[in-house]
Structure 1
């Protein structure tokens, strides 16, 4: 078992200045580049390693970090005439692709956007034999350590640790990271009307965490303005407390992120017992959270536990109606995130499910 030490080098400055002199023989001309290099090294050691050995490990990690920075500078210098960007300091990012099982540290020039780093990402995917249809090395997908999370930020992946209960069932669940958005966050009292807005925020957070978009999680006002801008709602809708449903969620995803969605409809909660196979397929292939709206309520589905032989089905539900603090024990212990049977859904309500489709890209 390994323990990951994220060494911040607090006893020295995290910024080390280097001067690079690029010498040209002709007439003694030269170009001088002076910049700061951010040093952020990551070391992986066995939990039984002795403290006396950690210094050498950290020094080796630091040297590899500086070597990556040197390579970044040399590549920028080589491509300087063909680049629209000036030579700039590289920034380190630590990634943890699930297929790898280990961290990968990458240096990106700080002023070069992700849209200009497609070739670098493709090389990494080929070298590590990773899928070519999902982004693992965009900046937004960088691994966040516990110290990186701001205080009172929405919790992530609150379903982890919950035990499925269907006998001989197969679990298919959301892939990646999402933030749990619920009533009364961000100093907005949306109790009684904002559940679908919160479900949409959770879905957009998934696309942001996975690096598919840099679009921030929208506010209620921004969601309403989006629906007005595309002509779905009148201007009076902005600032109101009107509900939205699965269709509006799909409109916002397409307008804000360019993400298309599949809409699945059933005439009653009982009929949701027939969608286990389709939802299982969605989570295996797309891996995105699903928004479901019925009656006056909206929820987020994070997965299913389905026995295809017996038809027994349970849904992993993330409930946006929670109004408490960011307390994981309360969220799980009180069932705000948990496995629910088909009886959870109303027999008298008509349900629409919004299944966001993952873009195929790097």
Structure 2
């Protein structure tokens, strides 16, 4: 699938930056806000260790997956089918189902943001956010508009968190000490935060975005590095800032509201003004993640391998995008706030991650898939398999603790 002729004029670097922001902002949506606030409230400074592990895993996963997808020029589900026939359909099911449930929380989060800002009911706010997302996807040069929208909303997120940290007493020393020497290692928190920020559809959003922009082949590896590392840096900065803001509130003696722990951070730090800022942050997080989850989930339904089949798929893609957003919005509208679902689906995506990464690591070693001249870097293969083993182990430990 390619972008239209106007979008094709964009440089590979511009497309890579669009992919970087899409990945980063998909990783710090309403689910991440909820998960980070929940575990910071429960674990305090020890949750910094989970953030550290998340960043390390993020680097390994994104550099591996982006590189394999771009060099092969094939989407993850097509690669999986070439590894084992039919495996791509299983991967699609896992990714799309996880992305769909996350999207319920995404549009719901945007709706709740509008509720905080303007007093609109969360359900009606979700309808407005969903309509805006559909318009963004259906306008001319849609992916350029998506990229610019995500970048603008990213700036809003960072500015809000800078303000909250500025008015808080940030416990830097305890945060650093417990990040590297935790007194309590909670595997459920690790699986959940990794799954919510780099698991499921999120780990594929950047690579698939690059293919959408026509960036593929070994000659574009440098854009993979630049895009992936930029996205990881942006997402990591926002993760750390939110963790520090939550830790400042917790260590000041405030107890986070379990019904809405993320809102508690902002309200306790800056009063009603901070609460309004939380609404804006939640709106931005919901919109960016809605765009990211919709684009990536729908891209997993594309199995085209030639121009003819691609043209047929393009006729239906807009309808698939609309259906994905409408269905997830309808579930939120009639069922309500899926805050608990966001934490659970984050853990589910954490369990999916080792499966998805293992499939692509196998693909990276097959000459018929990657080409006769390509050799995947050994350090990426080794660290990739270490992440597979660690996340599989952490996932089993999380399941055995019965915390789901």
Give the TM-score taking structure 2 as reference length.
0.19
Work out which of the two has the higher radius of gyration on C-alpha atoms and give 1 or 2: 1
Structure number with higher relative contact order (C-alpha < 8 Å, ≥ 6 residues apart) = 2
Which has more strand, going by share of residues?
A: 1
